[in-house]
Chains A and B, each alone.
Chain A
Amino acid sequence: MSHHLASLMVAGGLDALTYSSLAFLIASGLTVVFGMLGFLNVAHTSFYMLAGYIGFSIASRTGSFWLALLLAPPVTVALGLAAERLLFRRLYAAGHTPQLLLTIGLAYVIAETTKMIWGDDSLALAPPTGLGGHVVILGATLPVYHLFVIVITMALVGLLALLIGWTRLGMVVRAAAIHPQMVDALGFKLSAVHTFVFLVGLYLAAVAGVVMAPMLGIYPGMADDALVQSFIVVVAGGLGSLPGAFVVAGLLGLVQGFGSVFLSDYALYFPFVVLAGVLLVRPLGLFGRGGA
């Protein structure tokens, strides 16, 4: 019995970590762009979906998952850059309503375009050879691929933390998050900092889109699913707070991971319970700051 429980705990723990990793990768760009630019990008997860589809095409042409993981994110980021230059940038100072209208519209355009190109059906992407198997840890049978997802996410998050915390570029980014007008006044190009932040956020989401594919497949509704989850992470974490997003993504992972093991019938509702619970205690989110 205790063996059984241990294996359930390990399985649940791994699920939790996998889920949190991906939730954080997707949501981090959304929250940072909102925090620094005040820009609410509903189309953020559309780019995540787009990366999944582009990755699928690359992998099915070349037969290489690795090539897809390497190339799909930069292609997606390039498309995102075009959207930022042509559309988003015009509305940075325009307030949330025009931003919502624009990005919801763009989300629809991307959703319909992907359906026209890739069809309505769910597409499957096989995990790369060598990562398709299972390992048994403490009696729990675990997909090797999930371990890989955790490792690659942690590597990316670690890299990001190094970049933001220990480089001069990161210092300017942090400064721009606190006093943008001062960063400008000291002679740093603020708009370039903003573009950089926006692109890094898209890159992380795009990586998540490709990495997610072998687990859940690629399907037309994946942008919406991820959007709901991301907004829960962003709002409960506190708008604009990266540490907040990290903690809430972890919480969501825990309730999803263990919830789906112990109370699988209700797993769908858990994220909302987390959101409601956090907001009851801290109405501005875990790390939310009042005002603007």
Chain B
Amino acid sequence: MVDAPLLALHGISRSFGAGPVLDGLSLSISAGERRGLIGPNGAGKTTLINLITGKLRPDSGRVLYRGLDITDLPPHRRARLGIGRSFQILSLFGEASVGENIRGALLAKHGIGTTVARRLSSLEPIFAESEQIAALAGLLPFLGERVDTLPYGLQRRLDIALVTAQEPELVILDEPAAGLSAAETRDLIDLLEAIIRGCTLILVEHDMDVVYALSDRITVLDYGCVLTEGTPAEVNADPAVRRVYLGEETG
């Protein structure tokens, strides 16, 4: 019971039109684990994330979170249960300031998201908390800046900050290093090391340096199935992985 997984997927299948994207996939992630998820394009990584976060429902199979069957829960309920995610394409509110973005992310956590009438004093903790989060993400100097005026690297940091603002137990990041320069990527690794300490992580990423730096274990997907799973060293040495994935990168 101690080692009951935080997240367990049982026999997940999901098709879009022509054929299955995920084919009877099972996966189990323990609390505190950092799991890298890699695989060639079309292996089903984003579909898998969407099934965990509730954007999609599986054709068959169950999704269990803390032993609770969440297969049919809508996304916002899963978010409130502690599943936070970032999107492959940045989904920030560009016309608002950095502070407004963070405070918006905090509202739902505090249960005052859409109440029209609420005393303003109830917002004070949110302002304080948003500054802490901004400080942690290195965004404090930009709190009042419009998001769409910030360089891309800082926008990515804000994206991570919004996910962690809700203090999720499970953090799911979909290609957080996409579009970053080498220097920005190193900064991102440092930020993630600091900010997601204690969280369980699922990381989908093409940049293998990021995957190796942040993952305890790596799952390799291919054609909607788990090709293999192991420590970074094991996966790196696996000939099948080198053929379908790592080989593809160098070739």
Which residues on A are within 8 Å of B, measured CB to CB?
A: 163, 167-169, 171-172, 175, 178-179, 181-182, 184-193
Residue of B nearest to A167 (CB): B116
**By the criterion CB–CB under 8 Å, are B74 and A186 in contact?**
no
Q: Which of B75, B105, B109, B115 contacts A184 (CB 8 A)?
A: B75
Chain B residues with Cβ below 8 Å from A191 are 74
Per-residue A-contact encoding for B130-168, CB less than 8 Å = 1, 0 else: 000000000000000000000000000000001100100
In the complex, the 7 A-B pairs of residues with the closest C-beta atoms, listed nearest first = A187-B108, A187-B79, A182-B91, A184-B75, A179-B91, A169-B114, A187-B80
- Given A181-B55, A190-B75, are A168 and B114 neighbors across the interface (CB < 8 Å)? yes
**By the criterion CB–CB under 8 Å, are B93 and A188 in contact?**
no
Per-residue A-contact encoding for B73-95, CB less than 8 Å = 1, 0 else: 01110011000110100011110
Candidate in B54, B85, B104, B109 with the most chain A CB atoms within 10 angstroms: B104
**By the criterion CB–CB under 8 Å, are A175 and B104 in contact?**
yes
**By the criterion CB–CB under 8 Å, are A185 and B107 in contact?**
no
Cα(A186)–Cα(B163), bound, Å: 8
**By the criterion CB–CB under 8 Å, are A185 and B79 in contact?**
yes
Confirm or deny: B240 has a beta carbon within 8 angstroms of a beta carbon on chain A: no
Chain A contact residues: helix, strand, loop or mixed: helix
Which residues on B are within 8 Å of A, measured CB to CB?
A: 53-55, 74-76, 79-80, 84-85, 87, 91-94, 104-105, 107-109, 112-116, 118, 162-163, 166
Candidate in B53, B109, B113, B162 with the most chain A CB atoms within 10 angstroms: B113
Min Cβ gap B83→A in Å is 9
Candidate in A171, A172, A184, A187 with the most chain B CB atoms within 10 angstroms: A187
Chain A residues with Cβ below 8 Å from B115 are 168-169
**By the criterion CB–CB under 8 Å, are A186 and B114 in contact?**
no
Min Cβ gap B73→A in Å is 12
- Given A171-B104, A175-B104, A178-B93, are A185 and B114 neighbors across the interface (CB < 8 Å)? no
Chain A residues with Cβ below 8 Å from B162 are 182, 186
5 contacts between A and B (CB under 8 A): A168-B112, A175-B104, A184-B79, A185-B75, A185-B163
Cα(A179)–Cα(B96), bound, Å: 13
- Given A178-B93, A181-B55, are A186 and B116 neighbors across the interface (CB < 8 Å)? no
Chain A residues with Cβ below 8 Å from B114 are 168-169, 172, 188, 192-193
Residue of A nearest to B123 (CB): A168
**By the criterion CB–CB under 8 Å, are A187 and B113 in contact?**
yes
Chain B residues with Cβ below 8 Å from A182 are 87, 91-93, 162
- Given A179-B93, A186-B104, A186-B108, are A172 and B113 neighbors across the interface (CB < 8 Å)? yes
**By the criterion CB–CB under 8 Å, are B116 and A175 in contact?**
no
Cα(A181)–Cα(B112), bound, Å: 19
Residue of B nearest to A179 (CB): B91
**By the criterion CB–CB under 8 Å, are A187 and B116 in contact?**
no
Cα(A200)–Cα(B116), bound, Å: 15
Min Cβ gap B4→A in Å is 24
Min Cβ gap A187→B in Å is 4
Chain B residues with Cβ below 8 Å from A168 are 107, 112-116, 118
Min Cβ gap B144→A in Å is 17
**By the criterion CB–CB under 8 Å, are B87 and A181 in contact?**
yes
Cα(A181)–Cα(B78), bound, Å: 13
Min Cβ gap B239→A in Å is 38
Min Cβ gap A292→B in Å is 14
Cα(A172)–Cα(B163), bound, Å: 17
Cα(A181)–Cα(B46), bound, Å: 14
Min Cβ gap B45→A in Å is 17
Cα(A191)–Cα(B74), bound, Å: 9
Please give 10 more A-B residue pairs, beta carbons under 8 A apart, in addition to A168-B107, A178-B94: A172-B113, A175-B93, A175-B104, A182-B93, A185-B75, A185-B85, A186-B166, A187-B166, A190-B75, A193-B114
Cα(A167)–Cα(B123), bound, Å: 13
Residue of B nearest to A175 (CB): B93
Cα(A168)–Cα(B75), bound, Å: 20
- Given A168-B107, A181-B55, are A186 and B112 neighbors across the interface (CB < 8 Å)? no
Cα(A108)–Cα(B58), bound, Å: 37
Q: Which of B84, B92, B113 contacts A188 (CB 8 A)?
A: B113
Cα(A178)–Cα(B76), bound, Å: 17
**By the criterion CB–CB under 8 Å, are A187 and B76 in contact?**
yes
